[in-house]
Amino acid sequence: MALSLSSASGSVGEQVTLNLILENNSGVAALYVQLDYNTELFTLKSVDDKALLEDFAYADNAGRVVLSWEPATHNNSQSGSLATLTFEINQSVTALGKKEITLTAIENGIIDKDTNVVPCTLSSGSIEIVSPFPEEITSDGLTVDNENGRISKIAAETTAESFLQKIDQNESVKLYTADNKEVNSADFVGTGMILKLVDGETVKRQYVIIVTGDCSGDGQVTITDMLSVKGSILNKVAIVNAYKLAADTNGDSLVTVTDFIQIKAHVLGISSITAR
């Protein structure tokens, strides 16, 4: 017979639920176990009996929870979930990491109807205290506009890999093209791409990418960009949204001849555009 406590993870202030599971039950008449937890880290919020065995009771005293089931007069041989325990991770907790919730049997606490001790393997559980999921993106070298959902100050011909390295939350983000395909790490990050802050399958926030001087979206500053900026100045084509912000290479909020000259100089190899 085996008794095990499951594991869970959560961040400060969150509640987590552990499951106490009985397997290969050979028949018990009474079952007494105790769980030990650190009260400085956790507060026990509730204990829910799953009615697998009869006559449930529990007591929680300074970090030691005693759980008991005691049909006593007959053997019960059901296996399954015995109880769930919900803990809150205390607000005062600062140290992250895995903390054990110890499961032990009380001496002669697992017996059959003839009061013979039933051999049982016990496995403890744990609660891993993790950092809360980030609410927004931060970066050392890039400009992140959390209000408008934009990331800029990216130079032309920056690979997705080196771009992502500059995002502090890079384990929680994914980069997509403007038509929603995931970008390969060796590809250039381009204007109009979307960086998504993802928690599992849930997209928490997204940011549009602005690569200075790249108004075509390929991550490079070429003759294509030069011609579209020229077309925009002459009112022949409209550059909008992120692409317009990318075309404004001198950062005066307008797309003018000055930007065209900077892009042309970059294309001709005379001078490089400064990422902004």
d(CA 24, CA 133): 38
Per CB under 5 A, does 259 bind Ca ion? yes
Per CB under 5 A, does 232 bind Ca ion? no
Give how far Cα 271 sits from Cα of 74, 190, 226, 253, Å. 89, 20, 14, 21
Please, what is the minimum distance in Å from the beta carbon of residue 174 to Ca ion?
Answer: 22
Q: 57-61 and 15-23 as β-strands: parallel, antiparallel, unpaired?
A: unpaired
Per CB under 5 A, does 252 bind Ca ion? yes
3-class DSSP state for residue 96?
coil
Per CB under 5 A, does 214 bind Ca ion? yes
Please, what is the minimum distance in Å from the beta carbon of residue 190 to Ca ion?
Answer: 7
Per CB under 5 A, does 248 bind Ca ion? yes
Please, what is the minimum distance in Å from the beta carbon of residue 145 to Ca ion?
Answer: 18
d(CA 136, CA 146): 7
d(CA 205, CA 50): 39
Please, what is the minimum distance in Å from the beta carbon of residue 216 to Ca ion?
Answer: 4
The C-alpha angle with vertex 170 and arms to 166 and 172, in degrees rounded to 5, equals 155
Per CB under 5 A, does 218 bind Ca ion? yes
In this chain, which stretch among 72-80, 105-113, 250-258, 263-271 interacts with Ca ion, using CB under 5 A?
250-258
Per CB under 5 A, does 223 bind Ca ion? no
Per CB under 5 A, does 216 bind Ca ion? yes
In this chain, which stretch among 71-79, 176-184, 211-219, 228-236 interacts with Ca ion, using CB under 5 A?
211-219
Cβ partners under 8 Å of residue 220, min gap 6: 156, 157, 188, 190, 214
For Ca ion, the closer CB: 65 or 266: 266
Candidates 4, 6, 43, 250; binder of Ca ion (CB under 5 A) is 250
Number of residues that bind Ca ion (CB under 5 A): 10
d(CA 160, CA 175): 8
CB 259 within 8 A of CB 228: no
Positions touching Ca ion (CB under 5 A) are: 214, 216, 218, 220, 225, 248, 250, 252, 254, 259
